[in-house]
Amino acid sequence: MKVTIKNQENQIRQFQSLAFEGLNGGTWAAGDDTTIRAELESLQCNIKAWARKYAIDDMNSIKEIPANNYEIFLKALGNVVRLRTRKDELGCLQTSPMNKKAPTICLQALLSHRIYANIIKEPFFALGKRGRVLQSVYVDMKKANEKEAHIWRSRTIRLLSTPPATRTMGGGGGDNRQQSQDHEFALGLKDASQAVTNYFFDSPAKHLIRPSAFSPDNFSQTCSDMDSLVQQAALISFKLWSRRTALYLLGLPDLKDKSFSVVSDFMKAHPLHRLHDDDDKCNGFSVIIVTQPAVIGYGSSDGRDYSKSTERVWMKAEVLLSETAKI
């Protein structure tokens, strides 16, 4: 499903303006850890709000998906939900307490997974095929010299995102300058962001989106709301990867075999569990859904130290828990 959004060009220009202001003003650092955490929390709040607005009312309609599409849906859902045995895959989502909450929770989880895996985690996401080549080079460089690899990545992103030489418009000696609208990085950013939006609306996650969101009267607003999220994520990713620090994510594959603890450094319980700061009633429970991944930053801002001791949690994973070890 192709998405056309009238205000996308304006959003891209606003994004460029913020980025280029940072370059010209020497403020390339995304901010201290507190600022980074606040920006990621804001993004996650907006993802949750989008899911709450557009999710179907309950899980009953999932049973009506044709068999082939149902298998594809389960495979996608398995990225964020620890599914049951073959005969009752969605049993944990269709119980009385969960049936009406599960669509929003699962839609949030799938959208978070897509945005974080394809934008936040990817330094060169805006560069298409060239970005994949650069990512391969980056991975190889880290094996040889991690410190130099991160410095190279930071410098490369800054260089490629710099607008081309601008020209003076009109006569006279005034400083009337115009940024090129066909700057390759800006076009790549637009294409990559739109690809994430298009993919999500065509993905198995669409079965969790209320049909009215796709109606001719509403689809433009649906796309606009999604595009705002994608652009917000793109700006955060751009700022983070232009630094010399680095990051990695912890999702369901990393957390599904870990027992929960209320004092965990990298997990927090979903609000449905209603835990207080020192409430340990869910300690030892297993993770069944990851609604947002953990974001772990590491490395010093000057690029001198990337040891384990530099790791800090920028965002905890939000997890839904089950008392049983296996579900």
Residue-level pLDDT, tens digit, the chain, 327 residues: 444 444 545 555 555 555 555 444 444 455 689 999 999 999 999 999 999 999 999 888 888 899 999 999 999 999 999 987 666 677 777 776 677 899 999 999 999 999 999 999 999 998 888 899 999 999 999 999 999 999 999 999 988 887 665 544 444 444 444 454 446 777 778 888 888 999 999 999 999 999 999 999 999 999 999 999 998 999 899 889 999 999 999 999 999 999 999 999 999 999 999 898 789 999 999 999 999 999 999 999 889 999 999 999 999 999 999 876 443
CA–CA distance, 300 with 132 (Å, rounded to integer): 26
End-to-end CA distance of the chain: 35
- Listed in sequence order, the residues at least 6 apart from 248 whose beta carbon sits closer than 8 Å to its beta carbon are 121, 296, 298
pLDDT of residue 168: 45
pLDDT of residue 83: 86
Q: What pTM, to 2 d.p., does this model score?
A: 0.86
> 42: how many CB neighbours lie within 10 A of its CB?
12
pLDDT of residue 233: 94
pLDDT of residue 11: 52
pLDDT of residue 151: 96
Strands 317-322 and 267-269: parallel
Domain spans of the chain, in order of start: 8-165+181-244
Q: Which of 209, 238, 241 is nearest to 225 (CA)?
A: 209
Sign of the C-alpha dihedral, residues 35, 41, 47, 49? negative
Decide if 293 contacts 284 (C-beta within 8 A): no
220-241 CB burial, b ≥16 within 10 A, e <16: eebbeebbebbbbbbbbbbbbb
Strand residues in 179-253 grouped as ranges (E): 246-250
Q: Containing H/E element for 67?
A: helix 67-77
pLDDT of residue 14: 55
User: Which region, left, alpha or beta, applies to residue 303 given φ > 0 means left and ψ of -120 to 50 means alpha?
Assistant: left
| The three-state (H, E, C) secondary structure of 77-124, written as one string | HCCCECCCCHHHCCHHHCCCCCCCCHHHHHHHHHHHHHHHHHHHCCCC
